Structure 1
Amino acid sequence: MIDFLRGQFVHLENEYIVLDVHGVGYRVFCPNPFAFAKHEGEIMVYTHHHVREDAMLLFGFATREEQKLFRKLIEVSGIGPKVALGILAGGTPDHVVTAIYQENLTFLTKLPGIGKKTAQRMILDLKDKLDGFGAATYATGLFAPPSEEAGSGSAWDEAREGLKALGYTESELDKVWLKLKKDVTSADSVDVLMKRALQMLFTG
């Protein structure tokens, strides 16, 4: 089992990054590959090594929390690694875990690849298995997932701060927002907005 990799970021695609670890290039599929594009020097990527009959795949995450939630999600019947990756691309671990505890089908069914039956199965299978994610805090609603009524402006504000932390300037982010805002809806999460913005920033 490969639990993490530390190496040089060398290549980026829409679904994965390539990490050079002592001269070996590892292809690592990520929820948001573009989040790694701004890093220079060595980076650490938490991984899940997935083995099946016809392939061995590495899935990578920026945080240990994402890695842990990914492993919980793929235990649910009907959720494979690619769907679990899409869930993490569509919502933060805080939001996904909160939605499970609160049995928020509206939020869960907006995640990529998740229909009503799968959302119900997620709740049934995982609600009692997420103690390591701060169950008491999530259950109280202190980290409420974004609702349909929530304005997209607040989500962009949060995404913008995250992008600034990656080193992007106010001017760069203003230009991206001008292109991005016409397609933004109230259902778009912070992670989704960051991914779209990073794609625009990376491609120019």
Structure 2
Amino acid sequence: MIEFVYGKVDFIDTQYIVLETSNIGYQIYCANPFEYQANQEEMVKVYTYQHVREDILRLYGFKTRQERALFEKLLNVSGIGPKGALAVLATGQPDHVIKAIEEEDEAFLVKFPGVGKKTARQMILDLKGKLDDFAPHLFESRSIDESETLTPKEQLNSGALDEAVEALKALGYVDREINRVLPTLREEDTTTDQYIKMALQLIMNR
């Protein structure tokens, strides 16, 4: 098994990134490839999981070992494959997923693509009580509360962008479409309404 790949971010797609190391480009599927937008042409370490089937061989990448471990736990649930496990991790809030499993909140779990009531129930049956070790240190590199480092104005703008993202989802836009325009939106300092208008223009033009 390949524990991790350390290389330069050469290319970012909607489903994967390409890391170049020793003149070899590794295609690595990620929950949110655009997380690496700020690292374009930079060296990064990506922890990997190698998925092998008769007709496919793929690498899946994660920011931390804990994130990868949760991915592997999800794969053990009947009805969830790599694509479904990535969709769960794509929220960027695994602690909410763990809480939903522990509290048997099926209504929350069925919001994920490909997760119906039967699969949600299976997640609870298979994983409840087995994820306690993940909650305290998931995403160690992201454990610092970003709001503590922002000025009041920056916090206000961050809240406006979050509201805009929720509004776009309510309009029917999926995470993949929204994530493609987020880097551009983050460069702006404006209101919720303006973020929404900008996002709609960007999505329509791509």
Superposed, 1:32-43 pairs within 5 Å as 32-40=32-40, 41-43=42-44
Residue equivalent to 1:77:
78
Pick closer, same or farther for the CA change 1:13–1:104 going to 2, 3 Å: same
Residues 4 and 45 of structure 1 are in contact (CA less than 8 Å); yes or no, is this contact kept in structure 2? yes
1:95-126 Cα distance to aligned partner (Å, 9 max, x none): 11111111111111111211111000000011
Pick closer, same or farther for the CA change 1:38–1:128 going to 2, 3 Å: same
Deviation, structure 1 residue 89? 1.0
TM-score for both structures, normalised by structure 2: 0.70
AA of the residue aligned to 1:43: V
Task: Give me the whole-angstrom Cα distance separating, in 2, the residues matched to 1:79 and 1:32.
Answer: 18
1:12-44 Cα distance to aligned partner (Å, 9 max, x none): 110000000111100000000000111152101
> How many residues align structurally?
169
Following TM superposition, the consecutive aligned residue runs of length 4 or more in structure 1 with deviations greater than 2 angstroms are 172-182, 195-198, 201-204
Task: State the SS of the aligned residue for 2:84.
Answer: helix
Task: Give me the whole-angstrom Cα distance separating, in 1, the residues matched to 2:105 and 2:74.
Answer: 16
1:127-186 Cα distance to aligned partner (Å, 9 max, x none): 132232148x9xxxxxxxxxxxxxxxxxxxxxxx59x99xxx99x97997797564244x
Residue equivalent to 2:141:
none
Task: State the SS of the aligned residue for 1:10.
Answer: strand
Q: Give the % identical residues.
A: 44
Superposed, 1:1-204 pairs within 5 Å as 1-40=1-40, 41-90=42-91, 92-134=93-135, 180=165, 182-185=167-170, 198-202=179-183
Task: Give me the whole-angstrom Cα distance separating, in 2, the residues matched to 1:26 and 1:131.
Answer: 33
TM-score for both structures, normalised by structure 1: 0.70
Which of these two proteins has the greater Rg computed from alpha carbons?
2
Pick closer, same or farther for the CA change 1:178–1:196 going to 2, 3 Å: farther
Answer 1 or 2: higher relative contact order, Cα 8 Å, separation at least 6. Answer: 1
Residues 18 and 27 of structure 1 are in contact (CA less than 8 Å); yes or no, is this contact kept in structure 2? yes
Pick closer, same or farther for the CA change 1:117–1:196 going to 2, 3 Å: same
AA of the residue aligned to 2:80: I
Deviation, structure 1 residue 93? 1.6
